[in-house]
A and B are shown apart, each in its own frame.
Chain A
Amino acid sequence: MTYNPGLFAKSKQALTALDLDVPQNTIFGFLGHNGAGKTSTIKILVGLQFCTAGQAWIMGGDVRQSATRKRVGFMPENPYFYEYLTAEETLDFYGRLSSMDRASRKKRTSELLALFSLEHARHVPMRDFSKGMRQRVGLAQAIMHHPPVVILDEPMSGLDPLGRRDVRNIILSLRDAGQTVFFSSHILSDVEEICDRVCVLNQGKKVAEGPLSALLTGKVLEVKLAASGIAAAGIPEAARLAVRTWHDGVLYHVIVTTEEKAQAVKSMIEAAGGVLRVMQPHRESLEEYFVRVTDTTPGVASVQSGDGFATAKAKAPEVHA
């Protein structure tokens, strides 16, 4: 699917010239700070908001047409439901909205309730559901009609580690079944684990995109070495190469910046008669990458604001439409 929204002329937020291509049958992660425009993008994709310029297509269908949404399943952040409906009724209702017939609705509802371990709450009204249960129902209604494209806004927010693991597994199984998953998240470790491609958004602009393996070049940031059998004084040549060295009484730790230097240090340690215990390269994690990428964008002082509106207002006017 392709995506190309232009400026989005509401006074609060703007997405500038976002060009995105999400291939089929991948898990695509969408990252950005709060207020970067992730939710706006997603809302434009599912037809909740309208972009002022540009177009977006999902599987060849313009997102402004309702027929396109037949192929899309959407779960908003913190989904809300009608409190008085039970889980079963809720799923049935959303199934009707997707024009599913009664038989397939019933079958699918049972399937999903089992899949998400909500069987016990089949007849419980939504108002009695916990946060995790709601999240699961939200995900269930999104995939109710077997959509080839699934769009999720912060699917893991508020879930405990078990819940997050379940959601991760479900997303993986969707991909295995041939569906495309596009989701936004803050939980970078989860993204790192399951995504094939990511895109990073900062203040309405795309600052990075590509397969995870490409972005995380595996560039080694530093290598940690620890050896035993070295005197407290250490190895002076190693200390010159290294960023930091210390001896904790048992092991001599060295931290160098490249693998070549690590190899050199290793030789020095062996030459000094020590035994290498730990040699651990530290590659750039997604979080580090993320911070790096969003930090270098000009005009950004603070990364911590929770409200895109406040950030935008305080910053350069190019953010406004």
Chain B
Amino acid sequence: MIVVAIALNTFKEAVRDKILYVLFAFGALMILVSRAIGWVSYGSGEKIMADMGLAAIWIFSGMVSIFIGTGLIYKEIDKRTIYTILAKPAERWQFLGGKYLGLVLTMLVNLTLLSGGFLIYLWLSNAPVTMGLVQALYLTFIEMMVLTAIAIFFSSASTPILSAIFTTLIFYVGQVTKWIVELGAGNPPWVQKMLYTVYLFLPNLHNFNIRDKAVLATENGLAVPYAELGVVTVYGLAYASAVLLAAHLIFSRRNF
């Protein structure tokens, strides 16, 4: 499979990127430190530890997505390695898809290692380890799939710095779109309708944030019912696919 070949190659390339290790180290550090901070608290030390750990994993996975993803396509073009690849019978969508999957694979490995370490650390510190935490980490992975797609979209269209800026902006705005909608209250209806439309089309990354529910999970340790998890996954995959399709639209017409 051509897509698989390119994906594996991308994975090898990403794994050699130093920034991955720097970010991973920071994430691990934050997880380790969280225990000390939780220890200081009067009660609820485990909640603070879990909160910080989940937030660390989320933030650093996001940064991996942004930093590595935005440079990906640009590096190929800049280094001209793309010429020999596109001249092959491979289709352009296979190239794009392979890049995306390779990055997702990198993300998966990164997330699994951090999450595994985090859960083991929690268990060693006698903090509760529930299925809800796993659910929250799973949705963080889906969120990263969407973010990576957006990073690749910008990467295939512009320079790394601009791509990084745009992707980071969307990463932030995507967290608070729900509240932005409510800014419209008190304004004329057309403003409200417009805000609502914009809300629907911007990625609502807050959908993937069930971390607060996961940490305070009570009934049978689940943060959300599995059905809701499924719906959110569908949202994530649909949105990521739409973005990749748009990236392909631009990429397939591009002259090298």
Seen from chain A, the residues whose Cβ lies within 8 Å of a Cβ on chain B are: 10, 43, 46-50, 66-67, 69-70, 72, 74-76, 78-82, 84-85, 93-94, 96-99, 138, 141
* Chain B residues near A49 (CB-CB < 8 A): 255-256
A67 with B87: CB separation less than 8 A: no
Shortest distance from the beta carbon of A47 to any chain B beta carbon, whole Å: 7
Instruction: Give the distance to chain B from A53, nearest Cβ to Cβ, in Å.
Output: 14
Kindly list chain B residues whose C-beta atoms are within 8 Å of the C-beta of A81: 81, 84
In the complex the two chains form, is A94's CB within 8 Å of B83's CB?
Answer: no
Residue pair A47, B87 in contact (C-beta under 8 Å): yes
Q: Which residue of A lies closest to B5 (CB)?
A: A96
B9 touches A48 (CB 8 A): no
Across the interface, B12 reaches (CB within 8 A) one of A84, A94, A98, namely: A84
How many angstroms from the CA of A274 to the CA of B157 in the assembled complex? 77
Known A-B contacts A79-B83, A81-B84, A94-B88; A43 and B13 likewise in contact (beta carbons under 8 Å): no
Instruction: State the Cβ distance, A71 to closest chain B Cβ, in Å.
Output: 9
Closest to B93 in A: A66
B243 to chain A, nearest CB (A): 23
Cβ of B255: which chain A residues have Cβ within 8 Å of it?
10, 43, 48-50
B residues bordering A, Cβ < 8 Å? 2, 5-6, 9, 12-13, 16, 79-81, 83-91, 253, 255-256
Q: Is the CB of B5 within 8 A of A76?
A: no
The answer on a CB contact under 8 Å between A82 and B13 is yes
A-B interface pairs (CB < 8 A), number: 72
A66 / chain B contacts, CB cutoff of 8 Å:
89-91
Q: Distance (Å) between the CB of B59 and the closest chain A CB?
A: 29
Cα(A98)–Cα(B6), bound, Å: 12
Given the contacts A93-B9, A96-B5, A99-B2, A50 and B253 also touching, CB distance less than 8 Å: yes
Known: A49-B256, A81-B81, A85-B9. 7 other contacts (CB 8 A): A50-B255, A80-B83, A82-B9, A85-B12, A96-B5, A97-B89, A97-B90
Taking the closest CB of chain A, its distance from the CB of B230, in whole angstroms, is: 35
Is the CB–CB distance between B89 and A98 below 8 Å?
Answer: yes
Contact A84 B84 (CB under 8 A): no
Query: Which residues of chain B are within 8 angstroms of A46 by Cβ–Cβ distance?
Result: 86-87
From A78, which residue of chain B is reached at the shortest CB distance? B80
* A28–B85 CA distance with the chains assembled, in angstroms: 24
Contact between A74 and B90, CB atoms less than 8 A apart = no
Name which residue of chain B comes closest to A68, CB basis: B89
**Which residues of chain A come closer than 8 Å to B5, judged between CB atoms?**
93, 96-97
A76 engages B83 (CB within 8 Å): yes
In the complex, how many angstroms separate the beta carbon of B73 from the nearest chain A beta carbon? 14
Least Cβ–Cβ distance between A126 and chain B, in angstroms: 10
Q: List 20 A-B contacts (CB under 8 A).
A: A10-B255, A46-B86, A48-B86, A49-B256, A50-B253, A66-B89, A69-B88, A72-B87, A74-B87, A79-B83, A79-B84, A80-B80, A80-B83, A81-B81, A84-B13, A96-B5, A97-B2, A98-B88, A99-B89, A138-B84
Give Cα A12–Cα B173 distance, bound, in whole angstroms: 38
Bound: A66/B92 CA distance, A = 9
Asked if B13 and A69 sit within 8 Å, CB to CB, the answer is no
For the complex formed, measure the closest distance between the CB of B20 and the CB atoms of chain A, giving whole angstroms. Answer: 14
In the complex, the chain B residue whose C-beta lies closest to that of A40 is: B255
Docked pose: A141 CA to B83 CA in angstroms: 12
- Quick one: which of B2, B81, B83 contacts A48, CB cutoff 8 A? B83
Give 3 nearest A-B pairs by CB, closest first. A74-B87, A96-B5, A97-B88
The chain B residue with its CB closest to the CB of A96 is B5
Inter-chain contacts of B6 with A (CB < 8 A): 97
Closest to B91 in A: A66
Within the complex, what minimum Cβ distance (angstroms) separates A10 from chain B?
A: 7
Q: A93-B5, A97-B2 are in contact. Are A48 and B87 (CB under 8 A)?
A: yes
Query: In the complex, what's the smallest C-beta–C-beta distance from B46 to chain A, in angstroms?
Result: 43
Chain A residue nearest to B13 (CB atoms) is A82
A84 touches B256 (CB 8 A): no
Measured CA separation A286–B31 after assembly (Å): 71
Q: Give Cα distance in the complex from A78 to B84, angstroms.
A: 11
A97–B83 alpha-carbon span in the complex (Å):
13
Whole-angstrom distance between the Cβ of A201 and the nearest chain B Cβ: 19
Task: Say which residue of B80, B81, B87 sits within 8 Å of A69 (CB atoms).
Answer: B87
Q: How far is the CB of B2 from chain A (nearest CB, A)?
A: 6
Considering the chains assembled together, what is the distance between the CA atoms of A74 and B82 in angstroms? 12
**Contact: A69 with B12, CB < 8 Å?**
no
Report the separation of the CA atoms of residues A78 and B9 in the bound assembly, to the nearest whole angstrom: 21
Q: In the complex, what distance in Å separates the CA atom of A90 from the CA atom of B237?
A: 33
Chain A residues with CB under 8 Å of B84's CB are 74-76, 79-81, 94, 138, 141
